[in-house]
Amino acid sequence: MKISNTLILLSILSFSLLWACEGPAGIPGQDGANGENGEEGYAFEYTLTFSAPDYGAVLELPSDFTMLDSDVMMVYLLWEITDDGTEIWRALPQSLYFTDGILSYNFDFTKYDARVFLDGTVDLDGLGADLTDNWIARIVVLPAQFVNARTKLDYTDYNQVKAYLNLPDTDRTTGSYPTRPAVSE
């Protein structure tokens, strides 16, 4: 008992002396070199055609890219290019309403890929090429700090997302990109 009391007393005394000791401030160190700005958002572009039997496409992320479990993915389709070259991007899902049913462009994702697909009540086998062929899709990976931030960013507006995340512009000069049908809101 006497040994344990002595050890406790020595521990308290040692801790008090070490904790209370303070010397003069040292010489300030040099500032480190400025690092490069990191990426804040990532965009990947794909061309796809929706064809039978599944009317979908799996868009794999590059093998050298790691998406975190906390990140979120958005998919946008290039809906048209106006006469002055303005790109009109629409966030998925998008729905078109016809007299014989509804057609939806939709997606799901993992941290490795996105599956973009057609769904709805229309006969998918009867769709024209303007609804299925030569789509340009853009995947944007949004880091969790932006998704969880209190921002008034409209994630369905590609141009807002592009500006906020400082994503690069594309350089499309073609006027031959097909005009897609109007989307019913």
pLDDT tens for 65-122 read 999 888 899 999 999 888 888 889 999 999 999 999 999 999 999 999 999 999 999 9
pLDDT above 70 covers what percent of the chain? Answer: 70
Residue 12's identity, in one-letter code, is: I
Q: What is the pTM of this model?
A: 0.72
Are 137 and 48 spatial neighbours (Cβ–Cβ below 8 Å)?
A: yes
Residue 156 pLDDT > 70: yes
CA proximity to 119, closest of 138, 99, 102: 102
What sign does the CA torsion over 129, 180, 109, 71 have? positive
Residue 59 pLDDT > 50: yes
